[in-house]
């Protein structure tokens, strides 16, 4: 919103604003029930023609979706907010392939093994809603914790086999159980035709595909190519925590990945050594892992699998901010 605009909150206040011919309405965010009331009471119904529906309750959301039956295809993009161009690209892909696009914004407490990460996770809901409106997202689901979890409920325990043992599975114990718990809940609530996930979180993508098989769900899981900044740095909500100078230094991750792609003939051991040496030269960067894995198992490899069946994944800390990225080889 610009300096001359302001936010009006509350059903009655919004209705009066809509009735006032001197007011220029820029945006309206409302629940389905409020939308019905405003339609009923507001004579300027054309104002609401393009309003996107915002839900905080899974019951209201499911009631709304039930009206479509099997007549509409539903695309779903789960997020934790602090949206960036990578998230918006997922919505755009959903718009291209589905009749309805739904974005969830929920900071899931069960997938944080570090309480400080949860406490410091950015909350930019108002800005997020404005971004979603620009890319024509149809429905936003932004539930409180008690809409998805009962009091005292913890993450389920899953068996994803080798997919969850290396890389993030090793360095973030419990993360994938928490992530899978909330994704299973969201898929059961929304029952999307296609759910879209970014390839930046490559290990997560393959685990979600396995989760859907375990659920015996008809939802298709589609991976979408990583969106990058001009420097090559993968778009991430955590990038907001980096200074401009840190962002410039953080492009080292992509430079290493790109080097691996262009020098695959050198072999796994030499490429891994190259990455380690590059990070040792950086005083502000700490390499957590650089792992070459087979896509089908997510286990470390010594020799290449078939073309496009390998990946190199890097996790590193810069100025206390954890950054991850990967490239398929």
Catalytic residue numbers? 87
- Rounded Cα distance between 241 and 140, Å, is 25
Integer angstrom CA distances of residue 243 from 87, 118, 239, 250, 254: 21, 21, 8, 10, 18
Roughly how many angstroms between the first and final C-alpha of the chain, as a whole number?
43
What SS3 class is residue 84?
A: coil
User: What's the CA dihedral at 132, 138, 142, 148 to 10 degrees?
Assistant: -140
Q: What is the 3-state secondary structure (H, E, C) of 170-187?
A: HHCCCHHHHHHHHHHHHH
**Nearest-CA neighbor of 69 among 151, 191, 181?**
191
For 55, phi and psi rounded to 5 degrees?
Answer: -120, 140
CA–CA distance, 83 with 227 (Å, rounded to integer): 12
d(CA 305, CA 310): 6
Among 92, 82, 170, smallest CA distance to 122 is for 82
- Phi, psi torsion values for 323, nearest 5 degrees: -125, 140
């Amino acid at each position: 919103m610009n300096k001359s605009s302001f936010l009006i909150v509350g059903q009655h206040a919004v209705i009066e604003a809509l009735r006032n011919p001197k007011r220029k309405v820029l945006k309206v965010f409302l629940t389905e029930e409020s939308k019905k009331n405003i339609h009923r009471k507001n004579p300027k119904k054309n104002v609401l023609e393009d309003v996107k529906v915002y839900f905080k309750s899974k019951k209201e959301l499911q009631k709304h979706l039930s009206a479509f039956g099997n007549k509409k295809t539903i695309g779903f993009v789960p997020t934790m907010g602090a949206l960036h161009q990578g998230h918006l690209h997922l919505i755009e892909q959903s718009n291209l392939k589905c009749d309805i696009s739904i974005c969830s914004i929920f900071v899931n407490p069960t997938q944080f093994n570090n309480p400080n990460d949860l406490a410091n996770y950015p909350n930019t809901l108002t800005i997020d809603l404005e971004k979603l409106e620009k890319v024509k997202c149809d429905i936003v689901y932004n539930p409180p914790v008690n809409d998805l979890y009962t009091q005292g409920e913890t993450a389920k325990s899953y068996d994803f086999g080798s997919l969850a043992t290396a890389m993030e599975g090793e360095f973030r114990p419990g993360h994938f159980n928490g992530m899978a718990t909330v994704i299973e809940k969201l898929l059961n609530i929304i029952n999307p035709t296609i759910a879209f996930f970014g390839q930046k979180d490559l290990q997560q993508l393959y685990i979600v595909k396995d989760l859907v098989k375990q659920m015996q769900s008809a939802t298709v899981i589609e991976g979408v190519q990583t969106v990058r900044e001009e420097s090559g740095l993968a778009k991430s909500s955590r990038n907001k925590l980096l200074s401009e100078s840190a962002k410039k230094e953080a492009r080292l991750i992509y430079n290493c990945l790109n080097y691996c792609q262009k020098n695959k003939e050198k072999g796994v051991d030499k490429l891994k050594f190259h990455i380690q040496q590059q990070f040792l030269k950086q005083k502000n960067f700490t390499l957590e892992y650089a792992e070459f894995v087979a896509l089908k198992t997510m286990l470390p490899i010594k020799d290449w699998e078939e073309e496009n069946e390998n990946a190199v994944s890097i996790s590193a800390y810069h100025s206390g901010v954890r950054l991850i990225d990967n490239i398929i080889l």
